[in-house]
Every structure is written in structure tokens, then in C-alpha cells.
Amino acid sequence: MKILVCISNVPDTTSKINFTDGDTKFDTNGVQFVINPNDEFGLTRAMWFKEKQGATVHIATVGDASVEPTMRKALAIGADEGIRINAVPTDGFFVAEQLANVINDGGYDLVIAGRESIDYNGGMVPGILASLLGYNFINTCIGLEVEGDTATATREIDGGKEKVEAALPAVIGGQKGLVEESDLKIPNMRGIMMARKKALNVVEPVDATKATVDSKFEKPAPKGAVKLTDSVDELVSLLHNEAKVI
């Protein structure tokens, strides 16, 4: 089985977020970037298929040279080969078209992507990718098994879980629960050294339509001041008249 894991290069959740150029561009200065958490769950599941079923695991990222440290971490975790599509990602449509071109050339049986990235939270890429490829698609997956040419996935739905089957090739939109957090792999020194020798191929992007444009970003409003009271009557009055929650 040949697996491609789509990796997004996203800001660490502890990073302080700022914008430049009149709040139209994200300011990357001083920001630490990591593997998108939803993608990391998918990568870890792919490693399980590699260890248990002998699968070959490749990773792919759309980005300039700045994303390579994140890709090297994924290679250190155990991926066999990396593909960097040499373009700055602009929107989900653009990213999906670039990935679809790589997948068509690579002949992958299973594509695992995070259901969304934690930077823009668009949640578009896996579904668009499946549509472009003509692959079966299962989103919000919290469990995945593959037997022969059939993928069996457990997915999260409103009020419960759903188990579905799909023939390969397929695109999986994974999330927390696809593996346990305790199963996430931290690269060891041997993995880091081996990752330096693994292929990280750079391919040029194909022409693709930029369907959307970011016009402006806006931060959430700052939190208001905290009021302290030791009077139950005053607390009830505040909750009723100011917070209006009772």
C-alpha cells in the first residue's frame, strides 16, 4: 500500500499572532512553525500501517523553502520520502490542485490529510482533493483500518460515531482520535539523522486558479476587566444586569 500524508506548516498554538500591511498579511516574524496537529494524527496512523502492513509513506507540502524544517520532522518521525511543491499556499483550492497533480503522478492508494489546518481553519482541502481525483472521501475520521482494497473508518458525527467502508483509492480527513495523543511520535536522534539522508523532492507548481483572496484579518476583541465580589446579591445582580446570563 502506498500512502501520501498531506502536511501543513502552521504556527505553534502558543505563538503571538500579528498582521502587517494594513492587516492583510500574516506576520511570520518570531513565529515557530509546526506540523498541523490534525495532520500529525494522520501521519502517526500512516506509520502504524508502515509498521504493521509494510506500507510506503510519503509526505507532501505546498510551500517555499521555509517549510522544510517541518517536513524534515515528519521524515524523522518515519515517513520515507518528502515532496515539496514550490509555491506559497494561497487558498484551499490552489493547495488541492497542487496536491492532486502530485497524487496523480504518484499512484497513491490512500491519501491522509487533516480535516482542517489550525491556521485558517478552512476545512476545504481534503474534500476538494477527493473531488479532483475522483477518489472516495471520508471526513472527520477518528479511526481507520485498511484490509485489502477496503478502508474502514470511524467518523465523528453529531451526537455519536459512524462506521463506514470505502474502496481504495480514498482520501481521509483525519483529526484528533485517529490515534491516541500518547501514540504521537517524537523524533529521536536516530530518526533525525536518518531524515537528513531521505529524499525531499522539490517540484514546481502547476497553473491553478486562486479562487479566493484574503482581504483583511481581525483579531478577537480583548477580554474585558474582571470584577470580583464577595456578595451573593451583587453577583446575582451582575449576572442578571450586566452579563445577562440569567
Mean pLDDT, residues 134-157 taken together = 95
Count other Cβ atoms within 10 Å, centred on residue 44. 21
Give the pLDDT score at 78.
Answer: 93
When pLDDT is cut at 50, 70 and 90, the band that residue 14 belongs to is: confident
Cα→Cα distances 206→10, 38, 98, Å: 23, 26, 6
Residues 130/160, Cβ–Cβ less than 8 Å: no
Rounded distance, CA 140 to CA 138, Å?
A: 7
Domain limits of the chain? 2-218
Going by the DSSP 8-state scheme, the letter that residue 195 receives in this structure is: H
Architecture, CATH, for domain 2-218: 3-Layer(aba) Sandwich (3.40)
Whether the pLDDT of residue 213 is over 90: the answer is no
**pLDDT average, residue stretch 108-135:** 93
Position 91, amino acid: D
